[in-house]
Chain A
Amino acid sequence: MKALFLRQSGAGYLLVALLVASLSLMYIELSKPWLNGVRASLATVLSPVYFLADLPTESSDWVGSTFSSHSALQDQVGLLERRVLELSQASQQYLAVREENGRLRALLGSRARLGRDVLVAEIVGVLPGADRHQVMLDKGSSDGIRDGLAVIDEYGMVGQVIETAQSSARVLLVSDLSHALPVQVVRNNLRGIVAGSGRLDELQLDYVPDSADIREGDVLVSSGLAGRFPSGYPVGIVSAVTRGTGEAFAQVQARPSAQLDRSRHVLVLFAAGTAEPGL
């Protein structure tokens, strides 16, 4: 182990050797898939770090919920009961609609869309730095999570899995600057691409012609066109449209449907075959 230490002369050579090693690692990772396993196993080893880093938030949540007052809990129960009623009513309608949809699709001769398998996961880590919109989940490849799966919360699309370790997974949020997904407007099926803006409360709708029929309040859902995201999940609501800026495309901003900065539990959607285009 002596050779590890700088007291030895030749530390400069060691430094150069390490820099070369770093450069080769970076080169290999960019061009070949060989290091995916290395990264995944390192991430598995390091996943306790995320769990430990999450403890303060977790315990403050726990303290908050344990010591919240009786009346506050009663209010919450009342709220949840109302919500269950609303949802069960909606789901009854949904069943009827799904059946009808299946019949119509059968008439049209197209494949019925299957219900999707989902997995409930908890967000255990948020990547540091306000400019990086990634979160860590507490489920990983051992639970069947793979790269590219879509992640939603109860309100809409959260993001996609970009890296999986044994018992954790990294999710890129829809609001990240490097994220984009194909969407369409529910009202008229107008297609577009929603890109992250780098802010948690804003998305951008790109490539919408200046003259397109789009207005504030339009609901955007995933179109499933790229085959990566399932279709029909809410992504955002148009919050501002700016036209006539001299550009070919209008500037359209949207508010994300999912509670990107609030959700604690999310659903990972397992793709059932390839997504079908269109609604």
Chain B
Amino acid sequence: MNPGNGGWAILLTLIAALILAVMHLPEWWPQWLGWLRPNWVALTVFFWVLAVPQRFGLVAAWLLGLFVDVLYGEPLGLNGALLAVFTYITWSLYERLRMFGAVQQAILLFFMVLLAEGARMIGLLLLIEREAQFGFFATALASAVVWPVLRVALNQVQLACRVH
């Protein structure tokens, strides 16, 4: 993720993803909307790994995960491990995934985010005994639903900033 060749664009989109991850809705919006928060960070990582697999590495993903840990107040290392595994899986499949259409990718992302969120919940349950909640289905669903739109948006960013 060195800053040359549009690396700063990758950095900026990741920061934007972190901001979206903790963005809260104005108070007059219904509270249940809070459940439908896509996993913005994972989606953004997924995009960049597919687009420029040589630019986004495991260590970067892990560090990004540490930031997520701090933002969410979760045990340090938990999201780091999850994002590293997520990146590794995406990377090892990227040649095939690139051929997929937006809908196929969205369906795959549903399951990948579901697994990641499920693992995160189990981790939280074991580490800080947070009670089990089933919000991760909604997260996975929301992630899959926004993916086709997000893909187009990030593609525009990639073209505009000539990230290669």
- Number of inter-chain CB pairs below 8 Å: 137
Are B31 and A53 neighbours in the complex by a CB distance under 8 Å?
no
Are B22 and A170 neighbours in the complex by a CB distance under 8 Å?
no
Are A53 and B58 neighbours in the complex by a CB distance under 8 Å?
no
Interface residue stretch chosen among B70-78, B95-103, B105-113, B154-162: B70-78
Interface of A is mostly: helix
Are B59 and A18 neighbours in the complex by a CB distance under 8 Å?
yes
Considering only residues 39-75 of chain B, those with a C-beta below 8 Å from chain A are: 53-60, 62, 66-67, 70-73, 75
Interface residue stretch chosen among A54-62, A213-221, A266-274: A54-62
Q: How far is the CA of A200 from the CA of B8 in the complex (A)?
A: 40
Q: Does A127 contact B (CB under 8 A)?
A: yes
Known: A18-B62, A49-B22, A57-B24. A30 touches B127 (CB 8 A): yes
Q: Does A129 contact B (CB under 8 A)?
A: yes
The residues of B that contact A29 with a CB separation of less than 8 Å are 75-77
Interface centre among B24, B27, B53, B59 (most CB of A within 10 A): B24
The residues of A that contact B130 with a CB separation of less than 8 Å are 177-178
Q: How far is the CB of B23 from chain A (nearest CB, A)?
A: 4
Q: Does B81 contact A (CB under 8 A)?
A: yes
Are B19 and A15 neighbours in the complex by a CB distance under 8 Å?
no
Chain B: which residue is nearest A24 at the CB level? B77
The residues of A that contact B19 with a CB separation of less than 8 Å are 49, 52-53
Interface residue stretch chosen among A38-46, A82-90, A250-258: A38-46
Q: How far is the CA of A30 from the CA of B126 in the complex (A)?
A: 11
Are B58 and A11 neighbours in the complex by a CB distance under 8 Å?
yes
Q: How far is the CA of A154 from the CA of B1 in the complex (A)?
A: 47
Are B70 and A6 neighbours in the complex by a CB distance under 8 Å?
no
Contact of A42 among B21, B22, B70, B88 (CB under 8 A): B70
The residues of B that contact A35 with a CB separation of less than 8 Å are 76
Are A1 and B88 neighbours in the complex by a CB distance under 8 Å?
no
Known: A5-B57, A6-B58, A42-B66. A56 touches B34 (CB 8 A): no
Contact of A22 among B37, B59, B62, B131 (CB under 8 A): B62
Contact of A21 among B20, B60, B62 (CB under 8 A): B62
The residues of A that contact B26 with a CB separation of less than 8 Å are 56-57, 60-61
Contact of A131 among B1, B78, B135 (CB under 8 A): B135
Contact of B22 among A24, A39, A125, A177 (CB under 8 A): A125
Q: Does A109 contact B (CB under 8 A)?
A: no
Q: Does A108 contact B (CB under 8 A)?
A: no
The residues of A that contact B25 with a CB separation of less than 8 Å are 57
Q: For chain A, give the interface size range.
A: 35 or more
Considering only residues 113-133 of chain B, those with a C-beta below 8 Å from chain A are: 127, 129-131, 133
Q: How far is the CB of A135 from chain B (nearest CB, A)?
A: 9
Are A39 and B76 neighbours in the complex by a CB distance under 8 Å?
yes
Are A38 and B23 neighbours in the complex by a CB distance under 8 Å?
no
Q: Does A26 contact B (CB under 8 A)?
A: yes
The residues of B that contact A96 with a CB separation of less than 8 Å are none
Mark A88-112 against chain B: 1 for CB-CB distance below 8 A, else 0. Answer: 0000000000000000000000000
Q: How far is the CB of A202 from chain B (nearest CB, A)?
A: 13
Are B57 and A6 neighbours in the complex by a CB distance under 8 Å?
yes
Q: Does A7 contact B (CB under 8 A)?
A: yes
Are A22 and B78 neighbours in the complex by a CB distance under 8 Å?
yes
Q: Does B9 contact A (CB under 8 A)?
A: no
Contact of A26 among B22, B73, B127 (CB under 8 A): B127
Known: A4-B58, A49-B15. 13 other contacts (CB 8 A): A4-B1, A4-B57, A5-B56, A15-B88, A18-B84, A21-B80, A22-B77, A23-B77, A26-B77, A26-B78, A46-B71, A130-B31, A130-B34
21 contacts between A and B (CB under 8 A): A4-B57, A5-B55, A5-B57, A7-B54, A14-B58, A15-B85, A18-B80, A18-B84, A26-B127, A30-B127, A50-B71, A53-B20, A60-B26, A127-B73, A128-B23, A128-B24, A129-B35, A130-B34, A130-B35, A178-B129, A261-B31
Query: Which residues of B pack against A, CB within 8 Å?
Result: 1-2, 15, 18-27, 31-32, 34-35, 37, 53-60, 62, 66-67, 70-73, 75-78, 80-81, 84-85, 87-88, 91, 127, 129-131, 133, 135
